[in-house]
Structure 1
């Protein structure tokens, strides 16, 4: 089962599956270079057997492209644990890219996540709907996420609102007395059986109370209503046990390598 899920992940979610909302995309050998409003991104299904100097050439060309041909402040080369060559990370670092914490790629059936979850009194889980209050809701959600993740490379309020209004992502929040304490996205991947769940950044003082699980369950139910069968997520060591208990499977790991101007 794990090998089938990994094959589906590689086939459906890499390359075009990762950059459907990019502002600009260029192809270079096995790589796709994408530019979003929050920075650059490198995706590929595999490196076509490239090793040694050939890998160095791909990395050098990528750095030169984002440095000289774009105005992005940074770009991310997202590696996976099963990628070859095995020394790819070392070669990226040698060209000035810095690794961020490794996360686990989880994949599984949406139906396994769509369960009833009891949350403490006063916690409200809801979907942000387009309308007059959406901008304020999105701003509060992103502020909460940035306070937890702190990368500074997340989407902007404007781009998030554009996704919301276009229907390309659903934005969900959990509130306590009007304060956003957790938030996350459900992002269907057009042309695939997948949707991604991103975020779930519960504030530290409110963890361990079922809020993250409730936010996941709400998004999974919505995915099923859309006819989506599979869920994927890059998760931290904190959220991985919750998703595993729900039946999702760890198929690989992912480590972002980031170049900053």
Structure 2
């Protein structure tokens, strides 16, 4: 079992690169920043680190990134992904000053894939399977929109269908009961690294606490092992963090998205 410092180092070294954004349309470099363009007018800002920048340097980086995205009317939403362990003096103030709004922080969970494999009994009548048909993907996204309340169901459906068409190893998983999707999530092997990511874990409130999410996570972990991955990572809400911790994953840091939306600036 690796300790938290070595897991964090692996996360920083292997994932904070082009591996983090496999579906990018374009990437522009601005000093240490990677300014990423995605489909449907989405922008994303990430970096390995800020290179020891002081508050004045960081203010200039935020200004430059803001100008890059807001100057192009095609961009309607931009996320700046922060990590709690980065040295980033003045970053919060600079982002807020440019219209970026912080959302809820999540835990960065990292650990060995094998720690998530377990023999979990599903409740009677619940089954697990992978999906790839447009109808099933739309059903899954509608379910996640209900659970998370901030997911754009149609946009997410189209994004996942485009991703499936790439055949890059991403897989979508659901648990069903009586024809209803009760839990869902996806697995994303990260090319060129030891990692796979587990994302989008959602369970309807009435079905929580029954072991279904643990079973879905175990199934995804087995698929990751079959793909040759040894490490797993996830940005976890407070719903999934305790489950992943109980399975042996470690909270190595936090991540907080700061989001700029064009419609808010126009109002």
What interval of TM-score do these two structures reach, taking the shorter chain for normalisation? over 0.9
1:124, distance to aligned residue in structure 2 (A): 1.0
Among 122, 125, 128, which residue is 2:128 paired with? Answer: 125
Map 1:104-183 → 2, pairs under 5 A? 104-129=107-132, 134-152=133-151, 156-168=156-168, 169-183=170-184
In the TM superposition, what whole-angstrom CA distance separates every residue of 1:108-134 from its partner, at most 9, and x where no partner exists?
1111101111121111111114xxxx0
Residue aligned with 1:85, SS: coil
Matched, 1:43 2:42: no
1:163, distance to aligned residue in structure 2 (A): 1.9
2:71 corresponds to: 68
1:153–1:88 distance in 2 versus 1, CA, 3 Å? farther
Residue aligned with 1:101, SS: coil
In the TM superposition, what whole-angstrom CA distance separates every residue of 1:195-225 from its partner, at most 9, and x where no partner exists?
1000111011211111111111110000001
1:79 corresponds to: 82
2:245 corresponds to: 244
- Comparing 64-73 and 102-111, the one that deviates more: 64-73
Query: What runs of 5+ residues in structure 1 fail to find an aligned partner?
Result: none
Matched, 1:212 2:221: no
2:35 corresponds to: 33
2:101 corresponds to: 98
Among 14, 19, 32, which residue is 1:17 paired with? Answer: 19
Q: Distance in 2 between matches of 1:15 and 1:94?
A: 27
Aligned length in residues: 257
- Comparing 69-78 and 247-256, the one that deviates more: 69-78
1:229 corresponds to: 230
Q: Distance in 1 between matches of 2:90 and 2:202?
A: 32
1:159, distance to aligned residue in structure 2 (A): 2.5
- Comparing 145-154 and 51-60, the one that deviates more: 145-154
1:70, distance to aligned residue in structure 2 (A): 5.2
TM-score (norm 1): 0.94
Checking the alignment, whether the CA contact within 8 Å between 2:59 and 2:91 is kept in structure 1 is no
Q: Distance in 2 between matches of 1:86 and 1:105?
A: 21
